[in-house]
Chain A
């Protein structure tokens, strides 16, 4: 069964460093998303991406964040200068054009020290 895959599964980085989280969405999906879940809290929307541009973003998604689809298969989230409060599980998701259900990857746990 096709699935969304994320790498790495766990990343530790020093405060102030840039990180790139990588995702390979399901191949025929056209909408891509990033969500995050701070430990023990609810899942929060960051950004949606369609047709090579951001279609919607939350107030969390400030200038420190950017997304990119560098080729036909990868979808990345870059955090330019990480802060301690960026520590969270980051989920990538994707969906078909005409369906509303998003399928999530297994997540990348980001730890900022």
Chain B
């Protein structure tokens, strides 16, 4: 069975604070892919990053960074120096190798206040 857990449902921060969004996944496969998507108030789903199970390198893109740890089955997402435009719902998702079905977590609503 595959599952994605985002334990935090909602976080509120003040602009310029750093914030980490947690994601824990479950899968029996050795080949899988992990994703983060952003859903701003306008409703669309915006792809942020993909990681495959063989690549545990952490990644940084501007103010965004991702920490993939297979030992704890986690793929956490950190926003540094948050901005109001970061306010959105963030979804972590899992794709098992050989499947077309993206399994999403329940999402985490981030509110960044000025």
Contact = CB atoms under 8 A, between A and B. Distances in A.
Interface of A: 31, 33, 35, 41-45, 48, 50, 55-56, 58, 89, 91, 93, 100-107, 109
Contacts of A91: 45
Q: Which 8 A-B pairs have the closest CB atoms?
A: A48-B100, A104-B45, A106-B44, A43-B104, A56-B100, A45-B101, A42-B106, A101-B50
A45 B35 CA distance: 15
Interface residues of B, number: 23
Contact of A42 (B50, B100, B105): B105
B37 interface: yes
Interface in B77-114: 91, 93, 95, 99-107
Given A41-B106, A102-B102, A104-B46, 9 more contacts: A43-B45, A43-B91, A43-B93, A44-B104, A48-B100, A56-B100, A101-B50, A104-B45, A106-B44
Contact of B43 (A45, A55, A56, A89): A89
